[in-house]
Chains A and B, each alone.
Chain A
Amino acid sequence: EAQVTQNPRYLITVTGKKLTVTCSQNMNHEYMSWYRQDPGLGLRQIYYSMNVEVTDKGDVPEGYKVSRKEKRNFPLILESPSPNQTSLYFCASSLSETDYGYTFGSGTRLTVV
């Protein structure tokens, strides 16, 4: 089944403890992206990647890192999480940016205390 797999689905962590949210797609998509969703703000892009080793900042990249060493994986790294990074995170992929559909992962609910 074609899908984007995010892990974990839920995570509670403490301020300053490094964490990684994994994202993997099995569709050979070139384009991958991370979004965060906050109440009343919709989805905002954190980082995106157009292909292996090609990444760039989105609208809210502060406090996040990404890497794209393999086409299928696009992990989101929080080196020193803070409470304002408590959010719902989505990974998405598509064959190209203007492809008909973005496929989204199931989301990761992150709470930083």
Chain B
Amino acid sequence: AQTVTQSQPEMSVQEAETVTLSCTYDTSENNYYLFWYKQPPSRQMILVIRQEAYKQQNATENRFSVNFQKAAKSFSLKISDSQLGDTAMYFCAFMKLRATSGAGSYQLTFGKGTKLSVIP
């Protein structure tokens, strides 16, 4: 089974600074998708950014960008100009074709999360 590892249970960053959250995954697949989700104290799960493995270009969404290193199986999230509203749990997630089900069935696996605190 594939695993998703987030090695930093907690992190903090000063407001307006940049922070990078780490994520590594283990797979023998070549085609898959990677995601970062944000969960603020409200509990809502919010998609931050998505990356297809076949794309070499790193995805960006405003202040959020990823460093996707396919050979190293690494998918880190960089948050620039951190804001107080960025305080949340961040989950890295990996999606690949499910091995035991019919065609078109994908499996989404989450890491254990990194708790990010933005300090005023």
B108 nearest in chain A by CB position: A45
CB distance from A107 to the nearest CB of B (A): 4
A50–B105 touching, CB < 8 Å: yes
Do B113 and A42 have beta carbons less than 8 Å apart? yes
The answer to whether A101 and B43 touch across the interface, beta carbons within 8 angstroms, is: no
Q: Does B11 contact A (CB under 8 A)?
A: no
Most buried by B among A41, A42, A44, A92: A42
- The answer, yes or no, to whether B112 is at the interface (CB within 8 Å) is yes
> Within the complex, which residue of B43, B47, B112, B113 is in contact with A107, where a contact is CB–CB below 8 Å?
B43
Nearest CB of A to B55, in Å: 13
- Residue with the greatest number of chain A CB neighbours at <10 A, chosen from B46, B101, B110: B110
**Is A106 in contact with chain B by the CB < 8 A criterion?**
yes
Select which of B33, B45, B95, B109 is within 8 A of A104 by beta carbon.
B45
Range class of the A interface residue count: 20 to 34
Known pairs A42-B111, A100-B50, A101-B50; A50 contacts B44 (CB<8 A): no
Closest to B98 in A: A56
A43 sits at the interface (CB 8 A): yes
Q: Decide: A42 and B110 in contact? CB cutoff 8 A.
A: yes
Q: Which residues of A contact B (CB under 8 A)?
A: 33, 35, 40-45, 50, 56, 58-59, 88, 90, 92, 97-98, 100-102, 104, 106-107
